[in-house]
């Protein structure tokens, strides 16, 4: 089995961050201010006998709070609960297993389980639990001050800074009924099934993930349908009729070609109107069928629909959708720049084009 070492090497190289330079500086400045002020405020609020007023894992918490304010891992309960409970776990492990090589690993593992169970997963919590063991901390008050004090102050400062710079924090939660699904290509149940199959922690709120996927889907629709023109899908094998021809001739054309409408054109190919099966039904006596025919002395121009919506063949398909979905059209004649009939588009043509574009 050959190993593609180039692909292996590339897998170690991170992808380019998909955020602007402005956002990078916003997060960096916020982290700098948050840690500096957290240290100063914690030092001011801590008892005079306290030797430690800022713990190192707060640096990781600050990075997450300012760079990923919408992440479930950085919400207030995740930060305060994750750090404080992990500190308590680390203290407990050191009490029962002092000076043991297993204590470090056990503290991190139990802290992770605790955060999972209490829904406060926060990565720096693992570092807090490990810190308790490595520094051989045995004073239970350390979990409250400085760990919990640092966490609370940091969350308050991050809330203020994120809101001042246009970032919603804490991240608002919308009820399922408030989540608008503009393009129902997949449902909420489909997303839940996919997440269950993925079975890994995703650093994004579930509703944000759903909104992101729908936004990507909307862009894909816009890109695909936005490039599709009427001329790409219209039927060019035209069956037309002249205004002076009799209805019987028009009916024979409809039956012979198994179509529902006939554009009525003049000698130059300009659209004069359209005649459909509904026009025949409206003037027949009794139920029509393929063997019945209109009266010979009635011309097409006497029964056709004169006000016909025509569309330029260069029109985008995406602009055509409201004509079918909102205005109730079933077929539209296509004309070129000289207003000469060059094609027809029906609802079936649009549906086939949508299936190809979205499939």
pLDDT at res. 297: 74
Round to whole Å and give the CA distance between 208 and 211. 5
DSSP state of 19: S
* Domains identified in the chain and CATH numbers: 17-164 (no CATH), 176-226 (no CATH), 231-358 (3.10.580.10)
pLDDT at res. 205: 67
Structure tokens that stand for 193 in this block: 């099934």
pLDDT at res. 332: 86
Which of 335, 321, 337, 341 has its CA nearest to residue 264? Answer: 341
Bridging pattern class, strands 311-312 and 271-276? unpaired
| Main-chain phi, psi angles of 136, to 5 degrees | 55, 45
The answer to whether the beta carbons of residues 219 and 227 sit under 8 Å apart is no
Furthest CA-CA distance within the chain? 111
| Main-chain phi, psi angles of 137, to 5 degrees | -80, 135
Residues 6+ apart with CB under 8 A from 12: none
pLDDT at res. 31: 97
The answer to whether the beta carbons of residues 344 and 309 sit under 8 Å apart is no
The answer to whether the beta carbons of residues 86 and 129 sit under 8 Å apart is yes
- Tell the residue number behind the tokens 């809330």, with chain if given: 159
Tens digit of each residue's pLDDT, the chain (359 residues): 677 777 777 777 776 666 788 999 999 999 999 999 999 999 998 877 677 889 999 999 999 999 999 888 999 999 999 999 999 999 999 999 987 889 999 999 999 999 999 999 999 999 999 999 999 998 999 999 999 999 999 999 999 999 999 998 998 876 554 444 444 456 677 777 777 776 655 666 667 777 777 777 767 666 666 677 888 888 888 888 998 888 888 888 888 888 888 899 998 889 998 888 877 777 665 444 544 555 557 888 888 888 888 888 888 877 777 887 777 777 888 899 888 999 888 888 888 877 776 66
Structure tokens that stand for 195 in this block: 């997440």
The answer to whether the beta carbons of residues 50 and 146 sit under 8 Å apart is yes
Q: How far is CA 176 from the centre of its chain?
A: 15
The H-assigned helical ranges of the chain are 5-11, 21-45, 57-67, 76-96, 101-117, 124-134, 149-164, 188-198, 206-226, 230-233, 247-257, 277-283, 300-303, 317-325, 347-358
Round to whole Å and give the CA distance between 77 and 69. 13
pTM to 2 decimal places: 0.58
């Amino acid at each position: 089995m050959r190993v593609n070492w180039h692909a292996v090497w590339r897998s170690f190289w991170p992808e380019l961050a998909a955020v602007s330079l402005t956002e990078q500086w916003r997060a960096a400045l916020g982290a700098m201010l948050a840690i500096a002020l957290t240290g100063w405020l914690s030092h001011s609020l801590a008892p005079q006998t306290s030797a430690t007023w800022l713990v190192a894992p707060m640096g990781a918490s600050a990075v997450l709070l300012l760079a990923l304010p919408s992440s479930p891992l950085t919400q207030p309960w995740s930060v305060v609960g994750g750090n404080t409970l992990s500190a308590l776990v680390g203290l407990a492990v050191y009490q029962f297993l002092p000076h043991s090589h297993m204590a470090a690993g056990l503290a991190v593992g139990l802290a992770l389980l605790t955060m999972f169970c209490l829904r406060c997963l926060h990565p720096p919590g693992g570092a807090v639990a490990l810190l308790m063991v490595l520094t051989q901390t045995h004073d239970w008050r350390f979990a409250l001050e400085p760990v919990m004090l640092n966490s609370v102050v940091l969350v308050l400062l991050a809330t203020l800074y994120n809101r001042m710079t246009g970032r919603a924090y804490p991240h608002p939660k919308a009820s399922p009924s408030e989540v608008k699904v503009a393009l129902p290509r997949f449902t909420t149940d489909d997303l839940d099934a996919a997440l269950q199959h993925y079975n890994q922690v995703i650093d994004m709120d579930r509703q944000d993930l759903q909104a992101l996927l729908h936004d990507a889907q909307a862009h894909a629709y816009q890109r695909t349908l936005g490039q599709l023109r009427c001329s790409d899908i219209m039927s060019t094998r035209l069956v037309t009729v002249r205004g002076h021809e009799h209805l019987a001739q028009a009916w024979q054309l409809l039956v012979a070609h198994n179509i529902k409408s006939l554009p009525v054109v003049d000698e130059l190919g300009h659209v004069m109107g359209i005649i459909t099966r509904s026009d025949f039904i409206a003037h027949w006596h009794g139920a029509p069928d393929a063997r019945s025919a209109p009266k010979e002395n009635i011309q097409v121009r006497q029964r056709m629909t004169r006000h016909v919506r025509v569309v330029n063949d260069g029109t985008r398909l995406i602009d055509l959708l409201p004509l079918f979905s909102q205005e109730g059209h079933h077929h539209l004649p296509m004309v070129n720049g000289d207003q000469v009939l060059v094609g027809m588009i029906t609802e079936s043509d649009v549906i086939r084009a949508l299936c190809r574009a979205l499939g």
